[in-house]
Chain A
Amino acid sequence: MKIWIERQRSLIDFTVAGLLRRKVRNLGLMAVYSCVVFILATVMLFTHSLRKEASVLLSDAPEITVQRVIMGRHALIEHTDLDVVSKIRGARHARGRLWGYFYDTANGANYTLMVPDKVHTIKQGQVQIGAGVARARDLKKGKFLFLTTNRGKLFKLQVSGILSTESELVSSDLVLMSEQDYRNFFRLPSNVYTDLVLNVRNSREVTKIAEKISAVLPDSRVITRDDILRTYESLFSWREGILLALLGGALCSFIIFAWDKTSGLSASERQEIGILKAVGWETSDILTMKLWESVLISLGAFLFAYTLAYLHVFYFSAGLLEPVLKGWAILYPQFHLTPEVDPLQVMTLLFFTVFPYVAATLVPIWRAAIIDPDTVMR
């Protein structure tokens, strides 16, 4: 065992010295490699933390949402339905929600208008707005937000607070107002809601209660939190997968490049391997040394690029990739994701990069290693 370790150490030393002797070539290789890993890692880190963010956010969302559907479209739900739902055994805190979208012709942005939960009530005539809205309208606390209804009526609302930037990913375009203002703004009658939400006393009964609701309100659509979570999960995974598949093309060409680099040994390298074999190195010594070379290059580039991607995503808000992954919006959220490294992800990325690289170099390495020891004498 000791001999084995000492042998590996000597071979690694020799490999490193060899890599340094061919600095330009190897740095070039590592640069290309790092680029590939960097892009892949950015995509994965980014989608992963978005997914994480979404699931954290959803964790305190209500377990069941009930929407009324008319002609296959989401319609307003009536107060009587709320009473029906409240009476179902096991349902807790059934309440109607008011929320909707508003297109602001002033700057072409879409706002989400919403009445907050009973917990944080907002006084009539006041609003709390997301940071994106504040930026777009250049608003500060105490200033006034003017909104024009679709009937041309002007609404004047005082900004009582700006939502914290920590949750900016979801709150960027939010405008929170009181129920009365909301109904007035959209000219809603007082007995309708956008949808109903409720909690369930026993989380194992969510499915059962959802079934009961569909039975008593056949014209409604019942969505459970798990449904949403699943949709998010597969949506993000899908996007990530598509991107990776596209990038796979880049990866392939890189692997061909690696193959080419390794198989096209320079004359001096062939000479060097010949010398090593002539002075008593065995084929497996050369193989081991060259494998170390592959591993050091790929692992080195991997670690370097992964660190870069980490900084890029978590400290520079993934500036290079945002438009692709988040979709386009005028009220573009500026936010910092919570740094998070997932071991599964690191392993996946290793599988995607280091693994094919080393695999692609195996045959060329072997070809180099079987050079006859007497070549240097011919």
Chain B
Amino acid sequence: MIVFENVTKTYNEGAENAFNAILNLDLTINSREITVLRGPSGSGKTTLLTLIGGMARPTSGRIHVAEREVTSLPERFLTKMRQDTFGFVFQSFNLIKGLSVLDNVMLPLTPLGRPRNQIRKEAYALLERLHIQSKAHNLVETLSGGEAQRTAIARALINNPPVLIADEPTANLDTGLSYAFMDIIKELKDQGKTVVMTSHDPLVWKSEIVDQVISVRDGKIESNPT
């Protein structure tokens, strides 16, 4: 469970162009559920996602992940918490060009000092589960959009996190692939994972597998979304 208490995130703090991306926000995300953050671009939903995923620290307020207060953790512990808890799928996938699919999937575990054979085996298993094992040794720039996203999902799952975080996952996919993506998400939910996504794609937030839809506007949660 992830709980926000009166969280504010200010960018360019102290400067003239300072603005509050998130303002005094309270929020609860339940475990084993699928939560979608929706809202127009610039509404602060991506910032909210980064705060949920521990990628950024709030300017004020408290965030609890699994009952643990994470706001004032030093970076190395915040990162450790992130490694243990979250897997990220980015809108533009953010795969590293020039590396193979397998290498990209192994990235999150690279600095942890685990034996590489073992990591490689786990990465293979994931690629198999997502049906792209045949592309394991291809460079990522040769992949199609769907394959790239599967690679990104595999990378997000390599550290076996309880929470998957996805930013506009269907933005770069056609309808068929978007449905395929939702199938994968459903499968993950069935395995007991928590999923948090941002999306303004109705295909996503209107999906029946989604448990909670949170509308964000101007850094706040809209109580009566249209």
In their complex, do chains A and B touch, with some C-beta pair under 8 Å?
A: yes
Chain B, range 84-99, C-beta contacts under 8 Å to A:
88, 90-92, 94-99
* A319: Cβ under 8 A from any B Cβ: no
Contact of A10 with B55 at beta-carbon distance under 8 Å, contacts A280-B159, A283-B75, A378-B46 already known: no
Say yes or no: B94 contacts A278, CB within 8 Å: yes
- Given the known interface contacts A377-B49, A377-B91, the answer about A10 and B111 at a Cβ–Cβ threshold of 8 Å is yes
Name A1-49 residues within 8 Å CB distance of B. Answer: 2-7, 9-11, 13-14, 17, 21
- A325 lies within 8 A of chain B by Cβ: no
Q: Is the CB of B55 within 8 A of A377?
A: yes
- Size class of the B contact interface (CB-based, 8 Å): 35 or more
With a CB–CB cut-off of 8 A, which chain B residues contact A13?
116
- A263-286 Cβ-contact flags toward B at 8 Å (1 or 0): 000001001101110111111110
B61 at the binding interface (Cβ < 8 Å): no
| B90 x A10 contact (CB < 8 A) | no
List of A residues within 8 angstroms of B155 by Cβ: 279
A285 touches B55 (CB 8 A): no
User: Which residue of the partner chain, among A6, A17, A289, A374, contacts B55 with CB atoms under 8 Å?
Assistant: A374
CA distance A374 to B159 in the complex (A): 19
Q: Does A372 interact with chain B (Cβ within 8 Å)?
A: yes
The segment from B62-70, B102-110, B126-134, B183-191 found at the interface with A is B102-110
A6-B56 contact, Cβ under 8 Å, with A278-B90, A279-B155 = no
Contact B111 A281 (CB under 8 A): yes
- Interface contact A377-B90, CB-CB below 8 Å: yes
From residue A371, how far is it (CB to closest CB) to chain B in Å?
Answer: 11
- The reply to whether the CB of A376 lies closer than 8 angstroms to some CB of chain B is yes
Q: Is the CB of B50 within 8 A of A10?
A: no
Using CB atoms, name the residue of chain B closest to A9.
B116
A278 near B112: Cβ-Cβ < 8 Å: no
* B175 on the A face (CB < 8 A): no
Majority SS of interface residues in chain A? Answer: helix
- Chain A residues lying within 8 Å of B115, measured Cβ to Cβ, are 6
Tell me whether B33 is interfacial, beta carbon within 8 Å.
no
The answer to whether residues A17 and B50 also contact, given A7-B112, A10-B110, A280-B82 and a CB cut-off of 8 A, is no
Complex contact A278–B55 (CB within 8 A): yes
Given A6-B116, A10-B116, A278-B94, CB of A377 within 8 Å of CB of B46:
yes
Task: Give the Cβ gap from B97 to chain A, nearest Cβ, in Å.
Answer: 7
Residue of B nearest to A18 (CB): B98
Partner of A11, one of B80, B88, B111: B111
Q: Which residues of A contact B6 (CB under 8 A)?
A: none
Task: Tell me which of A6, A285, A372, A374 contacts B114 (CB under 8 A).
Answer: A6
Contact A275 B96 (CB under 8 A): yes
Q: A6-B115, A10-B113, A374-B55 are in contact. Are A279 and B91 (CB under 8 A)?
A: no
State how many angstroms separate the Cβ of B167 from the closest Cβ of chain A: 6
Residues of chain B in range 21-54 having any CB-CB distance to chain A below 8 Å: 46, 49-50
Closest to A272 in B: B96
A204 CA to B98 CA, complexed, in Å: 70
Output the least CB separation between A186 and chain B (Å). 77
Which A residues touch B113, using CB under 8 A?
2-7, 10
Residues A285 and B111 in contact in the complex (CB < 8 Å), given A280-B82, A377-B50: yes
Task: Please name the residue on chain A nearest to B92 by beta carbon.
Answer: A376
* Contact of A300 with B by CB under 8 A: no
Question: Within 8 Å CB of A9, what residues of B?
Answer: 116
Q: Which residues of A contact B46 (CB under 8 A)?
A: 377-378
B residues in contact with A283, CB < 8 Å: 75-76, 79
B178 at the interface (CB under 8 A from A): no
A62 / chain B contacts, CB cutoff of 8 Å: none
- Interface presence of B10 (CB below 8 A): no
Q: Are A377 and B167 in contact (CB under 8 A)?
A: yes
A267–chain B nearest beta-carbon distance, Å:
12
Residues on B with C-beta less than 8 A from A282 are: 75-76, 79-80, 111
Q: Within 8 Å CB of B110, what residues of A? A: 10-11, 14, 281
CB distance from B50 to the nearest CB of A (A): 4
A271 vs B93: C-alpha distance when bound (angstroms): 12
B83 touches A (CB below 8 Å): yes
Does any Cβ of B come within 8 Å of A116's Cβ?
Answer: no
Q: How far is the CA of A249 from the CA of B21 in the complex (A)?
A: 50
**Contacts of A248 on B, CB cut-off 8 Å?**
none
> Are A7 and B56 CB-contacts (below 8 A) given A282-B76, A376-B90?
no
Question: A125 on the interface (CB 8 Å rule)?
Answer: no
B154 → chain A, closest Cβ, in Å? 12
Identity of the chain B residue whose Cβ is nearest the Cβ of A20 in the assembled complex: B98
Given pairs A9-B116, A284-B76, 10 additional interface contacts (CB within 8 A): A4-B113, A6-B115, A276-B107, A278-B94, A280-B82, A280-B108, A372-B56, A373-B55, A373-B79, A377-B46
CB pairs A–B below 8 angstroms (21 shown): A3-B113, A3-B114, A7-B113, A10-B110, A11-B111, A17-B98, A17-B99, A272-B96, A275-B95, A278-B88, A278-B90, A279-B94, A280-B108, A281-B110, A282-B76, A282-B80, A283-B79, A288-B111, A376-B94, A377-B46, A377-B90
9 smallest CB-CB distances across A and B, nearest first, come from: A7-B113, A3-B113, A285-B111, A374-B50, A21-B98, A374-B55, A282-B79, A6-B113, A280-B83
